[in-house]
Chains A and B, each alone.
Chain A
Amino acid sequence: MGFFFTIVALIVLLGFTWRYLGSYMEAVFDGRVHWLGWLERPIYRALHTSPEQEQTWKRYAGAMIVFSAVSLVFTYVILRIQGSLPLNPQHMGGVGSALSFNTASSFVTNTNWQNYGGETTMSYFSQIGALTVQQFVTPAVGIAVAIVVVRGFSRRNSPTIGNFWVDITRCMLYVLLPIAFLFGIIFVAQGAVETLAGTVSIRDALNGVTQTIPRGPIGFMESIKQLGTNGGGFLDTNSATTFENPTGLTNFLSIYLLLSIPFALTYTFGKMVGSVRHGVALLSVMVLLFGVWVGFTSYAEHQNNPAVAAAGIHSTVGNTEGKEVRFGDTSTALFGVSSTMTSTGSADASYDSFTPMGGFGLLTGMMLGEVTPGGTGSGLYTLLIYAVIAVFIGGLMIGRTPEYLGKKIQAREVKLAGLGALVMPIAVLIFTGIAVSIAAGKAGPLNGGPHGFSEILYALTSQGNNNGSAFGGLTGNTPFYNIIGAIDMLIGRFGIMIPVLALGGALAEKNVVPESLGTFRTDNGMFVGLTIGVILIIGGLTFFPAISLGPIVEQLSHGRFF
């Protein structure tokens, strides 16, 4: 019953957020929100830019790449030299080069894959100045890129698609910072730790040992971790600890935060293109797939683990191994699906201990390309790639050059959308292929056979999709996994973003074909169905063989396929 109320509360709250945050974001990116103008204007002056200086998609992409490259170097350097930097009460030494590269790539790509334990590796300075900073800027970059594609649809005959610096400044100032600040207070009030003092030691007289309890500026990192669909926690055990996720309320708010912007952006989309119905269509695609995955995974986790059941142990409260008893099986499954399907990757349980079918839910949630609802910005722009492909096929079926929102979908758009859709599956499959073939890769997983394969596949799928959730069971902090993972993440992020920006530019240049009875409708159930079909076919057909060698064979080995 508790689960039922959680779902209802979530739907109501997200419904309001969708409507009002969505319309607020439209105002922000249209330049109609100015309540922090005194802060905004000096930033533009310092960057020698202004909202009037619009960029072509190439300049926009150039600015985005320069910004990300600088962020990558900046983060890498801080991690390497953190031993000489302030705010290091635990006297942590510099982080190794491979791990620094992996971590910097991870945070710059909004992945937040962590091949390290935060409390044993990172100084407070690194956590705040390097990692949390990226947790603010990378969602802004993602949202900005999504806004560019939306402008592609809403503008006509326009050579320019906005100004990168203005877009990310506005996004951070008016959207991310205020919301994160507000929820940071709630998290801290609920008991999330927020201090710059170092660890505390407790003398356990009874057992004769001394325990070291890690602390740090956790609470405020928590809110942006979820809001920005980052997922990288301060502590190794992420949202499963009481320091990061102290209460049932914060657990609920975590789920709410990570779903809020990705869903709300569909309203922003609808409003910007002048048809909220079109936003609703995209929202429906997201919600339908998300709902099915939540249902499936929750059901799977509510069952017994087949391996445990085979040992003759039967639980009446679902699969509890590796779960926080505070949250329970179904709520944990909801958290897990929300986190994997939003490219967040935070965890309030051990995903490795999910049932094979539960793990299947999480893994496939990512394999669909992070569009349901996906990461902040990245969810919308990746979904639009699939929508363009769906429109192309559907549009041909009615005998017209396909159009989406009046923009003709022609060779150039198909090429860019196709490229964007290809990058992730190819990167994930090839890197997984490499990892399972060479000794350095085979040494990674804890288990052998299909489960070991699932562990590797999950790790590279998670990184390739910029999710960052870990299945566990894989020793990732090796030079091999650090480097291959970093490349996987960078390709998974920028390999999609650049074609997407080009797509936005190509669309903005086009004139609008007026709608008529002969136009392929892109705001109705048929369109939703076709888009879901394209997502399932591209995601499903490309990963089905791999999955059948992982979770499916594992489930079948233990018993009945349900």
Chain B
Amino acid sequence: MTTVLNPSSPDAGAHGVAQSRGLFDREILGQALKDSLRKLDPRWQVRNPVMFVVLVGSIITLIESFAHPSTFTWSITVWLFLTVIFANFAEAMAEGRGKAQADTLRKMRSETEARRLRADGTEELVAAALLQKGDLVVCEANDLIPSDGEIIEGIASVDESAITGESAPVIRESGGDRSAVTGGTKVLSDRIVVRITAERGHTFIDRMISLVEGANRQKTPNEIALTILLAVLTVVFIPVVVTLEPFAGFSGATVSVVVLVALLVCLIPTTIGALLSAIGIAGMDRLVQRNVLAMSGRAVEAAGDVQTLLLDKTGTITLGNRMAANFFPVHGHSEQEVADVAQLASLADETPEGRSVVVLAKENFGIRERELDPSHVFVPFTASTRMSGLDMGNRSIRKGASESVKKWVTDQGGNVPTDLDEIVEKISRAGSTPLTVADGSTILGVIELKDVVKQGIKVKFDEMRKMGIRTVMITGDNPLTAAAIAQEAGVDDFLAEATPEAKMALIKKEQEGGKLVAMTGDGTNDAPALAQADVGVAMNTGTTAAKEAGNMVDLDSNPTKLIDIVEIGKQLLITRGSLTTFSIANDIAKYFAIIPALFAVSYPQLKALNIMHLHSPQSAVLSAVIFNALVIIALIPLALRGVRFRAANSAAILRRNVWIYGVGGVIIPFAFIKLIDLILVQLHAY
């Protein structure tokens, strides 16, 4: 059937803004260490209820340490402070990566001068900072575009590598869907007049900086819900620990305040509490690494919830252009003949379709490209003739829509072969486009132009299906063609002859059924649909309207990335859920370490609960506290990278994570607390 080619642009992930840094870049590490001390400020800590309780607890033990100094109380105090610092460190690490990216962007937003057009058409030089919305500026070759705007006059090639990392220049021109320019990009040739569309401080780069820095990062809905759950699990353990003192006192037993604080800190979900904001920041960061800018964390989360993906056929499912795939001769002619004439007709045709005809003829039939004589006249395709071709003196050859070519041939007195319609219909039915080839008054055959489905796309759709996500292909093609491509690409459904209204209606219908919808778009007429969709990814090449309507911008303008975005959204939630489970499951081992130690003096019989056979009450408590602190550090890489995500159905993902983080979370601390205890004994600490 179809030839499957490699995707046109490989993922341009590692350029530009998204310069990826190692997980523990030295520069970031140093800054993070400083920040983690700065963040000990209680005003900062209070935002995180779990860690705030730890901070208060460590202050209590600090006071106790001064009142009743001993190695034990001091050790506990130090480790409790370290727990808070480790949590700060995790957050600072995640922020640090964003800050580094922001610095790169800031350098780019250099202070430039703009050539503003006065009303009378003369130019004046003003600082870019003084530009107002609506001002007109002139940019010529080698000028930096001073701010975001829209080209109202002219055409230019622009180097956007500062933003996209893509070094090839792009063409920007007034009118249509390619008129938007971004401040900080560089004009390489020609002259354009740009109308400024953004105030200072609200340009695209400004938004990017604040996004990657997480300056005004707001908690996402699931993050808020999880914070509430963690607060609940923290609040419930406060009376548990506080009442232990009177409970024990009733039977004449005594408990130490330091051990009670240690117990509280070990019971509240410090692991997830410490890593929660780092996970969120890192999730945004992972998107930036893929050159996608999410305007809000909410959008990233919504991406994980998406149940319907609307994908444009062209560029997402198929390569941008149709390619010649076959030559079908009519009765009495050979394939070779068709190929020969078809190639001749296409020699001067610079469209990708035309090029593909030349290439196919060369590859399959060894017909070399011929030099064109200056006397040969290329007849370009127009909407009215619906044909293109070549006039070589008396000889005229044409390729084009079947009906038009038939009329052209009969007008010259030629005949239409009887089997032509049959061939044309067969090609149409397969979802391809037929181009009839004629040499003078003789019809030779038909070229089959096929949409080329991107390699590997079917596998992606299968994965989506496994995750319960429905894929819908959007195309302007007729239903017949659409159905054929849909089947080949393996999408679940298609919307043929799509208009912006039909797209909008489809999104609304899906949403009324309770589904979340994601789509990509670039044109101004996509804007309403992008705004309506729960996740609207605008292409960076698209119009300002589209970029403003969507809640994400893909700097690479690669619509296939929608699938990656969904995976990142899911990974973000999975990481949170798994670490929450792990954190809670850890409590069991800590109980068995601390409870027997707590009442070791009053109720030595509770030693039976010391199933880990920890050396002494003090080493047991300290081991649990040390484990509790170190596990935060140990999990930072996981929090920043996200837990491994494999496309599978929910049951399989859940089973895997429950085993690793739930059951593992119960077992692992037993082993490590015992290990830390052994080390403490070896060090003769106790």
Which A residues are closer than 8 A to B by beta carbons?
389, 392-401, 406, 409-411, 413-415, 418-419, 421-422, 425-426, 429-430, 432-434, 436-437, 442, 448-450, 452-453, 456-457, 511-514, 516-521, 524, 526, 529-530, 533, 537-538, 541-546, 548-549, 552-553, 556-557, 561
Contacts and interface: CB of A to CB of B under 8 A. Distances in A.
Given A394-B658, A414-B232, 18 more contacts: A393-B577, A394-B654, A397-B574, A398-B573, A399-B304, A406-B514, A411-B224, A418-B229, A421-B236, A512-B514, A516-B307, A517-B650, A519-B468, A521-B650, A526-B651, A541-B591, A549-B248, A549-B251
A90 to B, nearest CB: 39
B243 A418 contact: no
Interface in B212-245: 221-222, 224-226, 228-229, 231-232, 235-237, 239-244
Interface in B636-686: 645, 649-651, 653-655, 657-658, 661-662
A401 B588 CA distance: 27
A62 to B, nearest CB: 25
Pick from B301, B606, B650, B661 the residue with the most CB of A within 10 Å.
B650
B253 A401 contact: no
A476 to B, nearest CB: 17
B608 A556 contact: yes
10 contacts: A393-B584, A397-B654, A401-B305, A411-B225, A418-B228, A437-B250, A518-B467, A521-B654, A541-B237, A541-B588
Interface string B416-449: 0000000000000000000000000000000000
Contacts of B263: 545
Contacts of B553: none
Given A393-B580, A561-B608, A516 B468 contact: yes
A188 B355 CA distance: 98
B570 interface: yes
A516 B650 CA distance: 9
Contact of A415 (B228, B267, B584): B228
A406 B304 CA distance: 16
Interface string B280-316: 0000000000000000000001001101000000000
A478 B124 CA distance: 92
A457 B250 CA distance: 11
Contacts of B570: 398-400
Nearest to B466: A517
B654 A514 contact: no
Contacts of A538: 236
A529 B651 CA distance: 13
A139 to B, nearest CB: 28
B569 A399 contact: yes
B246 A436 contact: yes
A422 B331 CA distance: 84
B209 to A, nearest CB: 29
Interface size band for B: 35 or more
B474 interface: no
Interface in B582-624: 584, 587-588, 591, 595, 598-599, 603, 605-606, 608-609
A453 B573 contact: no
A398 B581 CA distance: 12
A453 B225 CA distance: 37
Given A411-B224, A518-B649, A556-B606, A433 B246 contact: yes
Given A516-B468, A541-B267, A556-B606, A397 B515 contact: no
A29 B224 CA distance: 35
A553 to B, nearest CB: 5
Given A399-B571, A516-B469, A422 B232 contact: yes
B246 A437 contact: yes
A414 B228 contact: yes
B460 interface: no
A529 B467 CA distance: 22
Contacts of A449: 251-252
Contact of B468 (A397, A426, A518, A529): A518
A107 B55 CA distance: 44
Contacts of B232: 414, 418-419, 421-422
B226 A436 contact: no
B237 A542 contact: yes
A432 B240 CA distance: 11
B577 A556 contact: no
Contact of A436 (B249, B574, B651): B249
A448 B467 contact: no
B201 interface: no
Contact of A397 (B222, B588, B608, B658): B658
Contacts of A437: 246, 249-250
B516 to A, nearest CB: 8
B651 A541 contact: no
A480 B575 CA distance: 49
Contacts of A392: 225-226, 229
Contacts of B228: 411, 414-415, 418
A430 B242 CA distance: 9
Pick from B239, B515, B581, B588 the residue with the most CB of A within 10 Å.
B239
B577 A396 contact: yes
Contacts of A457: 247
B236 A426 contact: yes
B22 interface: no
B573 A537 contact: no
A546 B247 contact: yes
B595 A520 contact: no
Contact of A393 (B241, B468, B581, B603): B581
Nearest to B591: A544
B465 interface: yes
B513 interface: yes
B578 interface: yes
B578 A397 contact: yes
Given A542-B237, A542-B240, A514 B514 contact: yes
A456 B250 CA distance: 11
A400 B515 CA distance: 12
Contacts of B587: 537, 541
B322 interface: no
A426 B242 CA distance: 11
A410 B468 contact: no
B229 A545 contact: no
A517 B649 contact: yes
A433 B662 CA distance: 32
Contacts of B237: 541-542
Nearest to A527: B654
B576 interface: yes
Interface string B14-46: 000000000000000000000000000000000
A188 B530 CA distance: 72
A184 B234 CA distance: 47
A170 to B, nearest CB: 31
Contacts of A545: 240-241, 244, 247, 263, 591, 595, 598
Contacts of B468: 516-519
A548 B595 contact: yes
Contact of A548 (B235, B250, B609): B609
Pick from A449, A542, A545, A549 the residue with the most CB of B within 10 Å.
A545
